[in-house]
Chains A and B, each alone.
Chain A
């Protein structure tokens, strides 16, 4: 499993893009980058994953650097409901191992 480093907290204005960085410099070639989030008092929720290419779904975009040592999760238009702890995981198998994550606060 890759060691991941994320800022402990970030703020974002409502309606603006939230860019959450993650460093995973030890990630190996067959390990995916996963992003999950945990809204207060709920179980973690899958957001997106990627291996090499950038990915986009209805929730977010994932930008992975060419050397795969870091990635950025982008929430294009953050809302108050996006306030949560966001976990970046670099792993090639289950069960997932969670780090400390980034606490994102979306401010009105």
Chain B
């Protein structure tokens, strides 16, 4: 199994500012995934981040709003830019398992509130 940590665990930010969320994994992984979970909703995939290449964004998410860095095989950051109250969500990073295919491990999430 993979152990994933995220920083910060929660934050309250003012609209118009940006927040960078860090995701650290205890093993090397090729792919990392970023999800958003709006209040009372299910998880929505934001993007897939592969080390050494540009992140692939899902429909409705753009790089200018959610820039992602993937400097090595154990770390990634997601920035939420020019925030508005609609960005208030839990942001989770996830990695595929090393065992059977298609298992995923999730970090504890970053709870963001934008005022």
Contacts and interface: CB of A to CB of B under 8 A. Distances in A.
Interface residues of B, number: 25
Interface of B: 4, 31, 33, 35, 42-45, 48, 90, 92, 94, 96-97, 100-109, 111
B103 A46 contact: yes
B45 to A, nearest CB: 6
Label chain A's interface by main secondary structure. Answer: loop
Contact of A95 (B4, B42, B104): B104
Contacts, number: 55
Band of interface residues on A: 20 to 34
Nearest to B48: A95
A43 B107 CA distance: 6
Classify the secondary structure of B's interface with A: strand
Nearest to B100: A49
A99 interface: yes
Given A97-B45, A99-B42, A43 B106 contact: yes
Contacts of B97: 46
- Please give me the 5 A-B residue pairs with the lowest Cβ-Cβ distance, nearest first: A43-B106, A98-B43, A95-B33, A98-B42, A44-B106
